[in-house]
Amino acid sequence: MSNRPADTHVEATADRGLSARRLGFCRAGRPVFGDIDLAVGPGELLQVTGANGSGKTSLLRVLSGLLEPAAGELRWRARPVRAGESGYLQSLAYVGHTDGIDPDLSAAQNLAFAMRIAGATPSRVRVDHALDSYGMARTMSVPVRRLSLGQRRRVALARLALVPRLLWLLDEPLTALDEQAGDAFQAQLDAHLRAGGMAVVATHRALPAGGRFLHLGG
Amino acid sequence: MNNLADALQSDRATATGTARRWLAFASARRFDPLAGRLAPWFFAAALLLLAAGLYVGFRVAPTDAQQGEVYRIIFIHVPAAWMSMFIYLVMAGYSALALVFHTRLSSMMASALAPTGALFTVIALASGALWGQPTWGTWWVWDARLTSELILLFLYLGYMALEAAIDEPRRAERACALLALVGSLNVPVIYFSVQWWNTLHQGASVSFTTAPSMAATMLAGMLLMTLASWMYTIAVALVRVRCILRERGVLAPTDGSRSGSWAG
Amino acid sequence: MPALFAAIVLHDVSLAWRRRGSILSSLLFFVIASSLFPLAIGPDPQQLRALAPGILWVAALLASMLSLARLFAQEHADGSLDQLLLSPHPLALLVLAKICAHWVTSGLPLLLLTPLLAQQYGLPVSSALLLSASLLIGTPVLSLIGGVGAALTLGLRGGAVLLCVLVLPLCVPVLIFGAGAGAAADAGLDAMPQLSLLGACLALSLFLCPIATAAGLRISME
């Protein structure tokens, strides 16, 4: 269950990005994952793979600060992260495997509200542009409950384009996406990495963007 | 799996977590056998003090002129009422420790105390009813103290209900800790409002606060009973917290079992 | 910051409007519950008038409790609660905005309906208005305390009943002061002491409850 990338790499990226040492998490007294080391620096992608139940979702939630680890430490830019710390929160964007959008509002309304919650002033232009890049231009005013699962996923991912964040934590982003939307997401991810951003993505199939891999589960 | 077991003892992982982790680990491991050794002594002390208190209360203290022998139930009612309040405050103290310092043992102590606190509340209410029936002819009286005890019972039961409803042990501990803290801040307000409500609607003149004036022996009797209750509470809490430590996976069920160890 | 607060309140209120079925249900519960008591107690006008403030307050309390279960439920189900917790804005403020929106959709309609329902009890208009005033100060406190309960019981089975069990004892002071204000008003006495005590409860809970609710949300996300 342990994965130790070369320690030199960990040291090198530690002060510019996310690093974790001996991270462990347990639920109901039973360990979900343990002894995880990882490091992600600017421009890097880390793909987390593993069978169902191996703890991919839990790992991402621990990295985002929503869950408290049972062991180990998490550092952002060489400083330890405390839950709810504003500085860290302003550097990360999280898309869980639930979409995080309200079914009774339209896609555009959801994204405008998401911008506000994330600390930005809502901009109709940017929302339109983000939805358009995922091919949602014609359905942006339809209540989300009338959209298909794949369309809702597109809206959830469109949120990433709205408020620029350094670290992306994505839990199975390709779920329910068709090929066209999948390509749009890859393009978005590539652009993010090229601009110096970093991403940790839990996924079943390997993304073409490459990067390093972390396999969970024994 | 020794590494992981050790790591699981701690609850907080920060840069300074290493020292704290070992501290928490040490406290749970060291506390358990200590609790096991101390519990019998506290039970013994409780029995002795109970015998002394009952002797003073039921034999030594003089008969009351107005209420006769029935007033002696005050030696059960008042200590039980005091204990129910004290225990809630101690629970709140442990809860504050648990939330601030993230120590699991503190919230487990609070969980261990809750059923005993509820028990004392029930004893206070029952003894109040038993006092009221011969004295004033009713089983229940909306006196300020009894009403406050009733609400306190609801707070205890709510705490235990919340604990039972949450499967994940760490979430249960922290949620109950927050509930106990919020409740303890509310308790003075509740007491004040019930007092206010009682004086406003005062029709009946019955009141448990108009107890017979305290002779020295009566005070001694009540103090002895209170001390006995304290010893009992500590003993039961020590036994219960050892069970909780095992239930929640902090210690293995066979940890520290020696022949002759109490309730291992 | 005020813009954010207003935006969240508007967002939640417009969402509640779209799901107005559940708001109307809790209002209907309030109406039905307060109509049950005369049926149970008997139509004696003097008795009803004396009991009116207490009965209306208890019915309002229960109706508020029922509607509190939905405070965070939808967000928890669709995952947008995660985004609230990950917001760089102070969580206590976001929570306060949500509770405020909840009050607008539950407490406010209740107190607007009260003068109407008070007629069933033969309560004169001036007393009914003062009873409404006590509800105006008291129902926000119910929403605030209930918010803590809603956060702690998030996602639990039997959550709504457990919420009531946890929160109702904590709301006893509000009930005592609020019903006391209504009764005092009807008896021609000064209701100001009760109303100011209610106001003190409101001030205290405005300060403490959002922080406790935010802590409860973080605890419940584990």
Cβ distance A94 to C78 less than 8 Å, yes or no, reads: no
Round the average pLDDT of chain C to a whole number and report it: 92
pLDDT at C96 over 90: yes
Tokens coding B176: 């109950």
A153 within domain boundaries: yes
pLDDT tens, residue by residue, C8-30? 999 999 999 888 888 898 899 99
Residues facing residue A169 across a β-bridge: A94, A200
Closest among A141, A189, A181 to A161, alpha carbons compared: A189
pLDDT at position C20 is 85
Cβ distance C86 to A83 less than 8 Å, yes or no, reads: no
Give the ipTM.
0.92
Percent of chain A predicted with pLDDT > 70: 92
Chains in contact with C, where contact requires at least 3 CB pairs less than 8 Å apart? A, B
Residue B2 sits at the chain A interface (C-beta within 8 Å)? no
Choose the closest CB to B7 out of A24, A27, A75: A24
Mutation target among C134, C166, C209 for the B interface, most CBs of B within 10 A: C166
pLDDT at position B23 is 53
pLDDT at position B33 is 86
Q: How far apart are CA A140 and CA A142, in angstroms?
A: 6
What is the secondary structure of C60-95 as a DSSP string? HHHHHHHHHTTTTHHHHHHTHHHHHHT-SS-HHHHH
pLDDT at position B138 is 83
Chain A residue closest in CA terms to B173: A28
pLDDT at position B15 is 38
Choose the closest CB to A69 out of B13, B15, B168: B13
Which strand (E) or helix (H) includes residue A215? strand A212-216
- Answer whether 0.95 is exceeded by the pTM: no
A172 within domain boundaries: no
Cβ distance A89 to C94 less than 8 Å, yes or no, reads: no
Q: Which residues of chain B are modeled with pLDDT < 50?
A: 1-16, 25-26, 203-206, 210, 259-264
Chain A residue closest in CA terms to B248: A29
A217 within domain boundaries: no
**Total domains in the fold of chain A:** 1
Choose the closest CB to B249 out of A29, A71, A75: A29
Which strand (E) or helix (H) includes residue C108? helix C91-118
A60 within domain boundaries: no
Closest among A166, A170, A158 to A197, alpha carbons compared: A166
pLDDT at position C217 is 95
Residue A119 sits at the chain C interface (C-beta within 8 Å)? yes
Q: Which residues does chain B have within 8 Å of residue A14's beta carbon, measured at their own beta carbons?
A: none
Which strand (E) or helix (H) includes residue A170? strand A167-171
Tokens coding C12: 């939640």
**Structural domain for A120, as ranges:** 99-164
Per-residue pLDDT in tens (0 to 9) along chain A, 218 residues? 444 555 555 556 667 888 888 888 888 778 888 888 989 989 899 999 988 888 899 999 999 989 888 888 888 888 888 767 888 888 999 999 888 899 989 999 999 999 999 888 888 999 999 999 988 888 888 899 899 999 999 999 999 989 889 999 999 998 888 889 999 999 999 999 999 899 999 988 888 888 888 888 75
Closest among B116, B111, B108 to B31, alpha carbons compared: B108
pLDDT at position A168 is 94
pLDDT tens, residue by residue, C170-221? 999 999 999 999 989 888 888 899 999 999 999 999 999 999 999 999 999 8
Q: How far apart are CA B117 and CA B92, in angstroms?
A: 12
Percent of chain C predicted with pLDDT > 90: 70
Mean pLDDT over residues C34-46, rounded?
A: 90
pLDDT tens, residue by residue, B181-200? 999 999 999 999 998 888 87
Q: How far apart are CA C104 and CA C107, in angstroms?
A: 6
pLDDT at position B65 is 65
pLDDT at C67 over 60: yes
What distance in Å separates residue B233's CA from the closest CA in chain A?
A: 28
Closest among C10, C9, C14 to C97, alpha carbons compared: C9
A130 within domain boundaries: yes
